Amino acid sequence: MKHPKEEITYVMVKPDGVRKGLIGEVIKRFEQHDLKIVALEMFQPSHDQLNDHYPKDEAWITRLGEKTKSTYEKYGYDMLADFGTTDTSKIGPEIRKWLVEYMKSAPLVKIIVQGVHAVDIVRKLAGDTLPYRATVGTIRGDFSIDSPALANKEKRAVMNIIHCSETPEEAEHEIKHWFGKSPIYNYKRFGVDE
């Protein structure tokens, strides 16, 4: 059993975060909350790397389609006119394609963050996936107002500054995928580790 302070999670500053000059701000927010940066790198991902990053299973893809459908219903938009279908299993792959295109559009910054409840605390600091409803004070709530209503109309992914793993299992998988054999560093933070 790992010590609680050893929990790690995976974060990527997405193209909009990089292009808005928010790399430092994102890191600052993690460090301010006693989380430790234990690996960090800017890189240009390949199409295949991104394609393998996002889940390919039916359930995940259909969930993306369902989320989109609920936005269309909420705002009274015409899904048939925009997508040519209302079938969530056909819309999901479309959104997934937009996501990969968006993530390729600029270099990204990949980060491994360590600390007590790192996965949950990073998700809390990131805020809701959809920036228009993310609480002010969170990364997404403070630096984006993007919404699926707008993104779907413009046929692109919702721009929400960062990606962060949802569970410790997902973090482990994503860290392996993006960092491979690159080192994860070990040091003692003043006031956190001693």
Return d(Cα 159, Cα 99) in angstroms, integer. 9
For ligand GDP (CB under 6 A), the number of binding residues is 16
The two most distant CA atoms of the chain are separated, in Å, by 59
State the CB neighbour count (10 A cutoff) for residue 96: 19
34 versus 166: smaller Cβ distance to ligand GDP = 166
Residue of 166, 168, 172, 192 that binds ligand GDP (CB under 6 A): 166
**Known catalytic residue: 163?**
yes
Task: Give the nearest distance from C-beta 22 to ligand GDP in angstroms.
Answer: 15
**With CB under 6 A as the contact rule, which of the stretches 41-49, 64-72, 74-82, 114-122 interacts with ligand GDP?**
64-72
Residue of 5, 20, 33, 67 that binds ligand GDP (CB under 6 A): 67
Among residues 64, 72, 121, which one has the least CA distance to residue 90? Answer: 64
Asked whether position 139 contacts ligand GDP by CB under 6 A, the answer is no
Q: Is the dihedral of CA 172, 175, 177, 180 positive or negative?
A: negative
51 versus 192: smaller Cβ distance to ligand GDP = 51
174 versus 186: smaller Cβ distance to ligand GDP = 174
Q: Which residues are catalytic?
A: 163
**Interface contacts to ligand GDP, rule CB under 6 A:** 64, 67-68, 71, 95, 98-99, 129, 148, 151-152, 157-158, 160, 163, 166
